[in-house]
Amino acid sequence: MPEGNIIHRIARIHRRWLVGRRFTADSPQGRFSTEARRLSGRTLEGVDAHGKHLLYLFEGGVRLHIHLGLFGHMRHFRSGAPPPSPACRLRLASPHAAFHLAGPQACELLSSEAEATLRSRLGEDPLRPDASPARAFEALRRGRAPLATALLDQERISGVGNILRAEALFLARLPPLRPASELRLADFERLWEALRLLMEDAARDGRIVVPHAPPAPWETPGKRREDRFCVYDREGQPCPRCATPISRLTLASRGLFFCPGCQDTGSAGKPARRPRAVPVERTRAPRARSRA
């Protein structure tokens, strides 16, 4: 499922390419035909992102909500769009831009009241200018669920997925199994800043590159640079900070990656074990130029 950084990147692309255009709309798959007729002939006036949700405002106050979920994908074209696939739920077409959506978890028209209700259920989004770290701190500390579990609750902090939680907890040096209710303000501030910077960079560059992450084994000179992680999907490999092998455990049916040397996996009352110091490259990997 795309994490919040990808959704915000899509919203930025669609604001640049699609907003201001009048579209004809249809549903080649047939499951969205009635709603597509309401969209057809209207100008797209705005695109917004909140966590993992995309919200489109069309002329006349018609609101489209999209959640890609695990299997949803979208394609956008400047011109000369190919025929849609039979699975295409929604097609928006204009002379100079087109949009194809298939397999979303949610594709629906919402009233203004329904949109407000949806937004009220979502937690603070680190990429939104109106995000409140204070509200996010209070929401994250509700209950004694492990911090790593609470971070995936979209009603606490919106947009965080499995990759972002692992890397942000690592950067903030926080124990993933610490009860969320024991999170201290100073620790939260490090965590929030790590999330915000990771997501901002990834939304701009189209990939996640964690500071001081080792080169990905599949990187080849001259080819497009890939994501680079410190702990995610690196089980058994050395931590780039202390050389302790990265661990993986299953938590709420999701793989959780962490460094047992840098991140004590117990509660807040247990001090973290001092890691063995190793040389670390201090220069950040160069960012790829955005192709959006």
| Low pLDDT (below 50) residues in the chain | 223, 266-292
The CATH superfamily holding the domain 4-121 is MutM-like, N-terminal (3.20.190.10)
Residue 113 is predicted with a pLDDT of 98
Per-residue tokens: 141: 């500390």
pTM, to two decimals: 0.85
Residue 225 is predicted with a pLDDT of 59
Residue 279 is predicted with a pLDDT of 37
Domain residue spans in the chain? 4-121, 133-258
Q: Is 51 left (phi over 0), alpha (psi -120 to 50) or beta?
A: left
For the stretch 85-133, pLDDT in tens is: 999 999 999 999 999 999 999 999 999 999 999 999 999 999 999 999 9
Residue 265 is predicted with a pLDDT of 58
238-272 burial code (b ≥16 CB/10 A, e <16): ebbbbbbebbbeeeeeeebbbbbbbbbbeebeeee
Residue 281 is predicted with a pLDDT of 36
Q: What angle do CA 249, 127, 133 make, to 5 degrees?
A: 80
Active site residues: 2-3, 52, 254
**CATH of 133-258 among 3.30.360.10, 1.10.1060.10, 1.10.8.50, 1.10.10.10:** 1.10.8.50
Distance (Å) of CA 228 to CA 151, 214, 236: 21, 7, 16
Residue type, 289: R
Q: How many other C-beta atoms lie within 10 A of the C-beta of residue 201?
A: 18
Distance of CA 151 to the CA centre of its chain: 12
For the stretch 245-266, pLDDT in tens is: 999 999 988 999 999 999 975 4
